[in-house]
Chains A and B, each alone.
Chain A
Amino acid sequence: MINCRNVTRLLSEAQERPLSITERVLLKLHVAMCSGCQNFKDQMGTLRLMTRAYAKRKSDHDE
């Protein structure tokens, strides 16, 4: 099985490039069994959302 370290690498890269079918299958199999990586996966989207909200906040609001 592909390990958590490599899974997090792929989940990060998925933010920059489309993953291959093989990569997607490997991820799916791992994430289904690993709650840590499942949470990490959700957090990649959340980090992006947070950083954009932060950018917007920086430009829209007074501190």
Chain B
Amino acid sequence: MTTNRDQKADTKQTEDLLVDAPFLEDIRRQMIKFATLQLGDNNLAEDAVQEALIGALKNASSFGGRAALKTWIFAILKNKIADTLRYKQRSVNVSSLLREEDEDEAFSELFDRKGFWQQDERPVAWGNPEASLRENHFWNMFEACLERLPPKQGRVFMMREFLELDADEICTTMNLTTSNLHVLLHRSRLRLRECIENKWYLQGERND
């Protein structure tokens, strides 16, 4: 149980952090990047970040320092992003959807006419990824690969794997049928996998 006074002290501490300019600027920059990646729109991202920060300030209590506060702010931001995506379903851009749906050609580079791997596109063994996950290099590459996904594929992939929404919820939000969703996820995984393999595993785990 926290007493009233403890809570007040914690609130004060959180407020101090939120008016600490370098801390705030740093976290804001990361949040914008994070939100833009998922919303595919700078203005919407700015709005979501703004609201998340205001929410954080309004409800500031019991945060034992920067790490906890940051985790919490990002949790709020994730919710804001999910809300924004739900709202956005009404304005899905039909032409961009059609363009992305019609990219079978791109995958003829991966598979031959009978649907078997092209010789030089056959996935290689990645081995245990643990060591890679500790390298900053790796994460820069990973982020670059995510950003390179076609917008709609990137968005559903992030909703599924990053926000960990279930398939039904994504379909409702994005106004997709289940089979649309499966197609988009399949393509995003093929692409992302290929990008990671080319930029990391076939580079001798170096990315200079």
Q: State whether these chains interact.
A: yes
- Residues of chain A touching chain B, judged by Cβ–Cβ distance below 8 Å, are 3-6, 8-9, 12-13, 15-17, 34-37, 39-40, 42-44, 46-55, 57-60, 62-63
Closest to B168 in A: A16
Cβ contacts under 8 Å, B107 to chain A: 5
Chain A interface main SS type: helix
Within 8 A of A (CB), among B86-129: 107, 110-111, 114-117, 122-126, 129
- Residues of chain B touching chain A, judged by Cβ–Cβ distance below 8 Å, are 26, 30, 34, 67, 70-71, 74-75, 107, 110-111, 114-117, 122-126, 129, 133, 139, 142-143, 157, 160-162, 164, 167, 181-182, 185-186, 189-190, 192-193, 196
| CB pair A39 B124 closer than 8 Å | yes
Q: How many Å lie between the Cα of A12 and that of B75 in the bound state?
A: 27
Complex A-B: 7 CB contacts under 8 Å:
A3-B115, A12-B190, A36-B123, A42-B126, A47-B192, A50-B196, A53-B133
Q: How many Å lie between the Cα of A55 and that of B34 in the bound state?
A: 9
| CB pair A59 B70 closer than 8 Å | yes
Known contacts A4-B117, A15-B185; A62/B26 CB under 8 A: yes
Interface centre among A4, A36, A39 (most CB of B within 10 A): A4
| CB pair A40 B193 closer than 8 Å | yes
Q: How far is the CB of A35 from chain B (nearest CB, A)?
A: 7
Chain B interface main SS type: helix
| CB pair B67 A60 closer than 8 Å | yes
| CB pair B182 A12 closer than 8 Å | yes
Q: How many Å lie between the Cα of A61 and that of B67 in the bound state?
A: 8
Closest 6 CB pairs of A and B: A3-B115, A36-B122, A59-B74, A5-B115, A39-B123, A51-B161
| CB pair A42 B70 closer than 8 Å | no
| CB pair B123 A59 closer than 8 Å | no
| CB pair A4 B189 closer than 8 Å | no
